Amino acid sequence: MAYVTLSELKQHLRVEVDEDDVYLTTLVNVAEEAIGNELGKPLSYYALNERAIPAPLRHAVMLLAGDLYNNRESVAFATPHEVPHTLDYLLAPFRKYDANCTTDVNEEAAP
């Protein structure tokens, strides 16, 4: 289900032509599924109603779709720099962690 519309993504990307509409729609679907996979639950789990998810997740979808649109290949010839506090920052509050998961830090602290 698309929680971000084509017109919203086009406005976010400042795309004014219609030639890439099918491609952009595909990218919204890909971004929504990828974010759901990253969070461990589908975006419908976070839905406020049948058409809306929290604003940080909507923006994360637009950021990821925009990144996929602007970087269509897996190789970049320029030196990219990650913009701090973007996708990870938006997704962090929604991540579900396994309560039974242990880390080296926890194991070392145990008596």
Q: How many domains does the chain have?
A: 1
State residue 107's pLDDT score. Answer: 44
Residue written as token pair 């720099």 = 81
CATH number at residue 35: 1.10.3230.30
Q: pLDDT tens, 22-77?
A: 999 999 999 999 999 999 999 999 999 888 999 999 999 999 999 999 888 877 67
> Tell me, what's the pLDDT at 41?
93
pTM strictly above 0.85? no
Parent domain of 58: 6-109
Phi, psi of 55 (to 5 degrees): -55, -40
Contacts of 29 (CB under 8 A, 6+ apart): 2
Report yes or no on 1 lying in a domain.
no
